[in-house]
């Protein structure tokens, strides 16, 4: 099938919308923040590594986008409160929260050899962090007449991680449960809550985890489409989830895994 020449997302579709993207200092979150800004959104970019958040913000500002860098650890309530206050002070509102931030443990580590610190850390960033950010933005969204929360699960949360350990599989499953709960609870306020469940994505994270080309070929072989996702493959679906085109969708878990996960 020949690619369509016209852009899928019309220029300016996010004009007047304020986004908070966590974990935007690298990988999927970074590209997402750049695309949201390029489409007219005002974007607060958060990362636990301050320099990463600043780098993303610099790139967006250089391209003419409206952006603010936020250094925050999403697992710390004080950081999250300060960040959300700053976003509201700067942009006046928050329309869309994207909970991209999340850490991971070692590849191929047996559960009985997993340090409890890994378990706590993976849960803190993925589960507690998504909860704390939702908790902090919800009052603003309710007051503003609605909003969107987009969570990041994973193929791991839909089945079992082929790469990472039990902590990651369990944490991403919890993110799916939180999505379902929040969607039911806040639909009456016009807040739509969905999650994307990407399959393995080519990028720094997977490169850090895979041990050479043999590992990489074995992972590709499990994916019916025959390759890892690109960050853009994932970001395009998040743009749809953030757009008005998804206005009737809440509580959904979108598998974007090249056929790895069949619902």
The footprint of ligand NAD (CB under 6 A) covers: 22-23, 25-29, 46-49, 52, 73-75, 100-103, 125, 129, 152, 154, 198, 200-201, 203-206
Query: In whole angstroms, how far apart are CA 64 and each of 28, 56, 129, 234?
Result: 20, 13, 30, 24
By beta-carbon proximity to ligand NAD, the closer residue of 75 and 246 is: 75
By beta-carbon proximity to ligand NAD, the closer residue of 76 and 90 is: 76
Residue closest to ligand NAD when measured from CB atoms: 27
168 is catalytic: yes
Name the catalytic one among 108, 168, 186, 248: 168
Residue 25 beta carbon to ligand NAD: minimum distance, rounded to whole angstroms: 4
Residue 132 beta carbon to ligand NAD: minimum distance, rounded to whole angstroms: 10
Residue 105 beta carbon to ligand NAD: minimum distance, rounded to whole angstroms: 11
Sign of the C-alpha dihedral computed for residues 54, 103, 92 and 86 taken in this order:
negative
Half-sphere exposure (Cβ direction) of 201: Cα atoms closer than 13 Å: 24
By beta-carbon proximity to ligand NAD, the closer residue of 10 and 49 is: 49
Report the distance separating Cα 263 and Cα 261, nearest Å. Answer: 6
Burial class from Cβ neighbours inside 10 Å (0-12, 13-18, 19+) for residue 209 reads middle
Residue 249 beta carbon to ligand NAD: minimum distance, rounded to whole angstroms: 19
Other CB atoms within a 10 A radius of the CB of residue 245 amount to 12
Other CB atoms within a 10 A radius of the CB of residue 137 amount to 27
By beta-carbon proximity to ligand NAD, the closer residue of 25 and 144 is: 25
Active site amino acids: 168
């Amino acid at each position: 099938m020949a690619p369509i020449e016209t852009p899928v997302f019309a220029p300016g579709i996010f004009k007047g919308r304020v986004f908070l993207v966590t974990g935007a200092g690298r990988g999927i979150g970074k590209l997402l923040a750049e695309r949201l800004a390029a489409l007219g959104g005002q974007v607060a970019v958060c990362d636990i590594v301050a320099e990463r958040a600043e780098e993303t913000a610099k790139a967006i500002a250089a391209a003419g986008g409206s952006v603010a860098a936020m250094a925050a650890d999403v697992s710390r309530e004080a950081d999250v409160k300060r960040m959300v206050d700053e976003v509201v002070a700067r942009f006046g509102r928050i329309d869309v929260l994207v909970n991209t931030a999340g850490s991971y443990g070692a590849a191929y580590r047996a559960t009985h050899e997993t340090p409890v610190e890994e378990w706590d850390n993976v849960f803190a960033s993925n589960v507690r962090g998504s909860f704390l950010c939702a908790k902090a933005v919800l009052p603003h969204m309710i007051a503003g007449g609605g909003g969107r929360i987009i969570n990041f699960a994973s193929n791991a949360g839909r089945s079992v991680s082929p790469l990472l350990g039990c902590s990651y599989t369990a944490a991403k499953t919890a993110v799916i449960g939180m999505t379902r709960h929040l969607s039911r609870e806040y639909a009456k306020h016009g807040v739509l809550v969905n999650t994307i469940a990407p399959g393995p994505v080519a990028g720094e994270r997977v490169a850090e985890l895979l041990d050479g080309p043999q590992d990489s070929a074995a992972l590709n072989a499990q994916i019916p489409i025959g390759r890892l996702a690109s960050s853009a493959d994932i970001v395009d679906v998040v743009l749809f989830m953030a757009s008005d085109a998804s206005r009737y969708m809440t509580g959904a878990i979108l598998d974007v895994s090249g056929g790895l996960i069949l619902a």
